[in-house]
Amino acid sequence: MTPDVPFARMNGLGNEILVADMRGRADRILPEAAIALAADPLTRFDQIMAIHDPERPGSTARIRILNTDGSEAGACGNGTRCVVRYLSLDSGAQEFSFEMRYGTVEARELPTGVISVDMGVPRFDWAHIPLAHPVADTDAAPVACGPQDAPVLSAPALASMGNPHAVFFVQADVWSIDLARWGAELEHHPLFPDRANISIASVAGPTRLVMRTFERGVGLTRACGSAACAAGVLAARTGRTERRLTVTVPGGDLIIEWRDDDHVMMTGPAEYEWSGRLDPATGAFERIQDAGAAA
């Protein structure tokens, strides 16, 4: 088939995103197409953000999120910022309301060029994270890896930000831990029936965290917006930091604020790289325009 779906290769702090414009169509990007796109060095991605026509009045669009293995995700903060930048370049609008699998997400482009996304209200109860069974304390869950007598990581704090997150707060340098190894193991821990995003975070001060994330269905990533939100909220909830802080991920900094109304605001950049067209059934694509031509 001829590639006929417009898409843009973008990034949010190095989190590699494909924004695919499926508006006006009834079909979907198939898992096998996502897997094929992820396998090509030019279109390798952490998430595909597929923009569909809205189902509810007042919404800008409905967003379906695909991981590199073809599975669906419930939330992607960095990807949402990329969708905002894509639609802003297309229409000039600055305020957006998106339908996602776990609820409605409001976002806006600020005059400074950064994008702020309301990531909603975090959930800490075991059934909504979800966990396989109740645990006594979701701020220090019975999860560990490594030797039993000297675990490498243990007792993570857990939350849902539309996706399940396990955050291990460590004293060590986050780069000293083999997250590729332990993240792949912990993602599939029996406590997590839907798998989990695994993060390690170090407190660098009352308003700063440094963290890395192993994203379920993806692997190591340079940035994960929902994980940064989860880490910021859990750091504040457990008394480690204040409620507004800078979260430094391998790709750069995000501002995370857990407001008094319990909503979590995430603010950061999004960058357009190049655009093309893709086939949603096979993943075949063609490259059309680079960032300079689109600016």
Q: How confident is the model at residue 74 (pLDDT cuts 50, 70, 90)?
A: confident
Report how far residue 201's alpha carbon sits from residue 168's, in angstroms, rounded to the nearest whole number.
Answer: 6
What b-and-e string marks burial along 154-190, b requiring 16 or more CB atoms within 10 Å of the CB? Answer: eebbbbbbbbbbbbbbbeeebeebebeebbeebbebe
pLDDT of residue 294: 52
| 254-278 tens-digit pLDDT | 999 999 999 999 999 999 999 999 9
- State which H helix or E strand residue 247 sits in: strand 244-249
Mean pLDDT (the chain) is 94
| 190-218 tens-digit pLDDT | 999 999 999 999 999 999 999 999 999 88
- Please confirm, yes or no, whether 224 is among the known catalytic residues: yes
Q: Is the pTM of this model over 0.85?
A: yes
Q: Catalogue all structural domains in the chain, each as residue range(s) with its CATH number.
A: 5-119+270-294 (3.10.310.10), 144-262 (3.10.310.10)
The share of the chain scoring above pLDDT 90, in percent, equals: 90
pLDDT at 53 over 70: yes
- Please confirm, yes or no, whether 76 is among the known catalytic residues: yes
pLDDT at 101 over 80: yes
Q: How confident is the model at residue 164 (pLDDT cuts 50, 70, 90)?
A: very high
State the average pLDDT over residues 35-52.
96
Instruction: Return the structure tokens found at 242.
Output: 């204040």
Query: Which listed residue (76, 82, 145, 229) is catalytic?
Result: 76
Cβ 243 vs Cβ 235: under 8 Å: no
The vertex-26 CA angle with 24 and 28, nearest 5°, equals: 110
* Alpha helix positions (H), 139-267: 179-186, 225-237
Query: Which listed residue (82, 145, 224, 229) is catalytic?
Result: 224
DSSP per residue, 20-84:
EE-TT-S----HHHHHHHHHSTTT--SEEEEEE--SSTT-SEEEEEEETTS-EES--HHHHHHHH
